[in-house]
Amino acid sequence: MKQLQILSIAIILLTLSSCQIIGDIFKTGVGVGVFLVIGVIALIIFIFAKIGGGGK
């Protein structure tokens, strides 16, 4: 299994240019960042709803 991962990483590195790899990593990072921000906002809203007695 480990050899398969190393082989797939090697193939990706050989087929993509460095700029393309950096761009893909950046796009993934932006997606993860947006997901985390939405999660934190939802958590804050949930906490304020519980403190304020929301749903009564």
Q: What SS3 string covers the chain?
A: CHHHHHHHHHHHHHHCCHHHHHHHHHHHHHHHHHHHHHHHHHHHHHHHHHHCCCCC
Structural domain for 40, as ranges: 20-56
Total domain count for the chain? 1
Question: Does some domain include residue 10?
Answer: no
pLDDT at 5: 80
Identify which has the larger pLDDT, 42 or 19.
42
Among 11-20, 29-38, 44-53, name the one with the lowest average pLDDT.
11-20
pTM over 0.75: no
Residue, of 34 and 16, whose pLDDT is higher:
34
CA-CA distance, 25 to 27, in Å (whole number)? 6
Cα–Cα distance measured from residue 45 to residue 56, given in angstroms and rounded to the nearest whole number: 16
Q: Evaluate whether residue 47 is within a structural domain.
A: yes
Does 13 map to a domain? no
In a domain, 12, yes or no: no
Residue 34 lies in a domain: yes
| 8 occurs within a structural domain | no
